[in-house]
Structure 1
Amino acid sequence: MRILFVTLLMFIASWSYATEPEMSHDSGQPVKITSEQLEADDQAGVFVFKGDVQAQQGEVFIYAQTMTVSYIKGEKRQIETVIAEGDVRIVQLDRIATGGKAIFYHQEGRIILSEKPRVVQGDNTVEGERIIVYLNDNRSIVEGSSKRRVKAVFIPGEETK
């Protein structure tokens, strides 16, 4: 579980604008998850957290209605995918990513936000049909469609003298 949240934290920390410094996070902090229900199926290699799921590590908070963690069975239980669904919100200080669904592909280091995804930091916003974040390359792609074009608003920072 710790690997999942460390990677999600890297996503949040890497989403910085030119006017904001990159944030750091102490991945050694404990991960706290609360939900109304937890289903664990070791045979299938799945943990499913249901009902008002709240996860926290340090200053990073992840909210969703369900969170499904699929892992490779074995001694270390390596995470394959994490799917957060239903009013997904990832918050770190003034950075907020929202959408109906977020899928994290651990081996590829890729997160896909969908279902009206939006990222907000202060007055800066970006939204589209899908937002794909490549954690290992520190880059992202915002895709549009004929029904939902990419929209971005960037407010330049004040110059210091």
Structure 2
Amino acid sequence: MVPHLARVLLLALLVAPLPAAAQQLQTGFADFGQDQDTPIEIEADALEVQDKQSTAVFTGNVTVRQGNAALQTSRLTVVYSQSALPSPDAATSAASTGKAPSTPGQQRISRLEASGEVLLESDGQTATGNDGVIDFDSNTLSLNGNVTLTQGQNVVTGDTLTVDLNTGIARVQSTGRVRVLLTPGGN
């Protein structure tokens, strides 16, 4: 009887802070890259565009900002849903007219893949991990390795954080134990 009660209490403790954290992620991190009217600003020490792979790789002190959300990492790969290569006709036309070639079709960001001590910040909440992915096709955010999620003085730690940005449900998992620190009177 006692082990069952202990499991119920532990479950209640773990579930209680996560809906609030997921809700904050929904309003803060969920909008990252989704709002077509708010520009995404990326700064880095270097940029390499790989047209045939439909990627752009930013390296060195990478900072991504959109609205009040920010991501910092040492390496960011932006994956596009279509190739950034212009058609040969567009390049020929551009050479004759002096205008830059347009990209065929609608190009959009499919994924942001961050590696090297990832830091996400939004609406008074931070999340850190060794690497992370924001997948706009599946509308998920994940951080892996030494994950820490903080809001005010409350802290959740584990090995992985996965957030379904459609539902706002966050899941923290660990090969050891997930740890939660709730501070009375904290946010």
Report the TM-score range of the alignment, normalised by the length of the smaller protein: 0.7 to 0.9
Show CA shifts across 1:7-38 (max 9, x none). Answer: xxxxxxx97349x8x85779433322110111
1:68 maps to what in 2? 77
Show CA shifts across 1:105-145 (max 9, x none). Answer: 22111121111011111111111111111111110111110
Between the aligned residues of both structures, percent identity stands at 26
The correspondence for 1:49, drawn from 45, 58, 67, is 58
Unaligned runs of 5+ in 1: 1-13
What pairs with 1:101-116 in structure 2 (closer than 5 Å)?
Answer: 101-116=131-146
Show CA shifts across 1:31-69 (max 9, x none). Answer: 221101111111110110100001112222210000001
Residue-pair matches, total:
141
Q: Residue type of the partner of 1:89?
A: L
User: d(CA) in 2 for partners of 1:83 and 1:41?
Assistant: 15
User: d(CA) in 2 for partners of 1:59 and 1:39?
Assistant: 26
Structure 1 pair 134/98, CA: closer, same or farther in 2 (3 Å)? Answer: same
Flag the structure with more relative contact order, 1 or 2, with Cα contacts below 8 A and sequence separation at least 6.
Answer: 2
The correspondence for 1:150, drawn from 178, 181, 186, is 178
Q: Report if the CA contact (8 A) 1:115-1:130 is conserved.
A: yes
Show CA shifts across 1:72-98 (max 9, x none). Answer: 215222333221111110112421111
Unaligned runs of 5+ in 2: 1-17, 84-104
The correspondence for 1:58, drawn from 64, 67, 77, is 67
Q: Residue type of the partner of 2:182?
A: F
Bigger share in strand:
1
Structure showing greater Rg:
2
The correspondence for 2:155, drawn from 125, 132, 137, is 125
Cα root mean square deviation, aligned:
2.6
The correspondence for 1:16, drawn from 2, 20, 40, is 20
Q: Report if the CA contact (8 A) 2:21-2:170 is conserved.
A: no
Q: Report if the CA contact (8 A) 1:42-1:73 is conserved.
A: no
Give the 3-state SS of the residue equivalent to 2:20 in structure 1. coil
Q: Residue type of the partner of 2:181?
A: V
Bigger share in helix:
2
Give the 3-state SS of the residue equivalent to 1:129 in structure 2. strand
